[in-house]
């Protein structure tokens, strides 16, 4: 008897396993079509069958597997690894008194592998300065050294008054 993960399927009446590929086509200037790439499509299996005992519990599990994308291996008439349920239909008919007929589609998927950690045997030299936490720094001005001269500093003459004279020289002419 076949299983879908841990759900027992009572009878499988039909198994259909189409295989297909997709080819890319491009038009040339003269109207010809060329194919430059062929890609194999994932394998799908269509199952038709009957589930009789404990139907509601089985339906709930199959629905949960489909919604969550649970990956499992399928082994009945053919063996496929890493399949998911993409479609599940059930039909209640009078000829199945305590169960139902169903159709289900399983699709094989490819699981990505986790990259491995690579260790380098030769030590790698740091090319940057270490980061320091100094915050904003104020630049320091260095005093310039001046030589002392015996010369006196020049002072500006006093400002002129509004009447045309010089400050401090009002009475002189």
pLDDT in tens, 47-79: 998 888 777 888 899 999 999 999 999 888 888
**Number of helices and strands (H, E) in the chain?**
1, 9
Strand bridging mode 33-40 / 78-91: unpaired
- pLDDT, tens only, 21-39: 999 888 888 888 888 889 9
What pLDDT is stored for residue 65 in this prediction?
Answer: 92
| pLDDT band, residue 127 (cuts 50/70/90) | confident
The span from the CA of 46 to the CA of 54, in Å, is 23
pLDDT for residue 104: 93
Percent over 70 (pLDDT), the chain: 80
- pTM given for the model: 0.57
Q: What is the mean pLDDT of residues 82-97?
A: 85
Structure tokens, 133: 């936490």
- Strand residues in 42-152 grouped as ranges (E): 44-51, 72-76, 78-91, 100-108
Strand partners, 45: 106
* pLDDT score, position 153: 67
Q: What is the mean pLDDT of the chain?
A: 80
**Confidence class for position 85, pLDDT limits 50, 70, 90:** very high
User: What are the helix (H) ranges across the chain?
Assistant: 55-68
**Does the pLDDT value for residue 15 go beyond 70?**
yes
């Amino acid at each position: 008897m076949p299983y879908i993960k841990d759900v027992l399927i009572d009878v499988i009446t039909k198994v259909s396993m189409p295989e297909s590929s997709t080819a890319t086509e491009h038009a040339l200037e003269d109207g010809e079509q060329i194919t430059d790439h062929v890609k194999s499509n994932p394998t799908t299996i269509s199952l038709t069958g009957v589930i009789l005992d404990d139907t509601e519990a089985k339906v709930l599990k199959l629905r949960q597997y489909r919604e969550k994308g649970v990956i499992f291996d399928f082994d009945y008439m053919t063996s496929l690894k890493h399949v998911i349920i993409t479609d599940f239909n059930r039909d209640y008919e009078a000829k199945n008194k305590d169960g139902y007929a169903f159709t289900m589609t399983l699709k094989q998927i490819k699981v990505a592998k986790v990259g491995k950690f690579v260790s380098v045997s030769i030590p790698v030299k740091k090319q940057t300065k270490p980061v320091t936490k100094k915050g904003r720094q104020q630049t320091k001005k260095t005093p310039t050294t001046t030589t002392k001269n015996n010369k006196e500093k020049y002072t500006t003459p006093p400002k002129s008054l509004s009447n045309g004279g010089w400050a401090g020289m009002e009475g002189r002419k």
